[in-house]
Amino acid sequence: MLKLVKYDFRRDRDKFLAVFVITILVQFVIGFTVRSDQEMFMMNVTSYAVAGVVLLFFSLRTFGQNLRLFNRRLVPVPVLYTVLSPVMLFLGSLLGLFLVAYIHLAVDIMMFSTSFLPEKFWLISAYTVLIVFWASAYSMLLVMFSMTVAMSVRVKGRVWIGIAVFFVIQYIISLLESSMFDHKNITLERAFRFEVTDEAAKLNDIEISQYVLGLLPTLFEAVIITILVFAIVKLVKKRVES
Partner 1 sequence: MENILEIHDVTKKYRSKHALRGVSFNLSAGKITGLLGSNGSGKSTLMKIIAGLTQPTSGRVSIIGGAVGIDSKAVVSFMPDKPLTESWMNVKDALKFQSDFYPDFDQTKASRMLEFMKLRAQDKVKDLSKGMNERLQLTLALSRRASLYLLDEPIGGVDPVARTKILNALVEFYEEDSTILLSTHLVSDIERIFDDVIFIKEGEIVMHTAVEDIRMRQGKSIDELFREVYAEC
Supply the DSSP string of 125-191, one letter for each residue. HHHHHHHHHHHHHHHHHHHHHHHHHHHH--STTHHHHHHHHHHHHHHHHHHHHHHHS-GGG-HHHHH
Residue 18: CB minimum distance to partner 1, A: 14
Q: Are 135 and 188 a contacting pair, CB within 8 Å?
A: yes
Contact in structure between 38 and 198 (CB atoms under 8 Å): yes
Instruction: Please state the closest distance from residue 124 (CB atom) to partner 1, in A.
Output: 40
Cβ nearer to partner 1, comparing 3 with 183: 3
CB of 135 to partner 1, least distance (A): 31
Nearer to partner 1, 209 or 242 (CB): 242
- Give the nearer residue to partner 1 in terms of CB position, either 73 or 193: 73
**E strands along 16-65, which residues?**
none
In angstroms, the Cα distances linking 10 to 36, 59, 74 are 40, 12, 19
Q: With respect to partner 1, which residue has the nearer C-beta, 32 or 70?
A: 70
Give the separation between CA 119 and CA 20, rounded to whole angstroms: 29
Residue 77 or 159: the one with the smaller Cβ distance to partner 1 is 77
Which residues make up the interface to partner 1 (CB under 8 A)? Answer: 3, 7, 10-11, 13, 69-71, 73-78, 240-242
Q: What is the dihedral of CA 78, 188, 143, 88, to 10 degrees?
A: -40
Rounded to a whole number of angstroms, the minimum distance from the CB of residue 242 to partner 1 is 5
Q: How far is the CB of 71 from partner 1 (least distance, A)?
A: 4
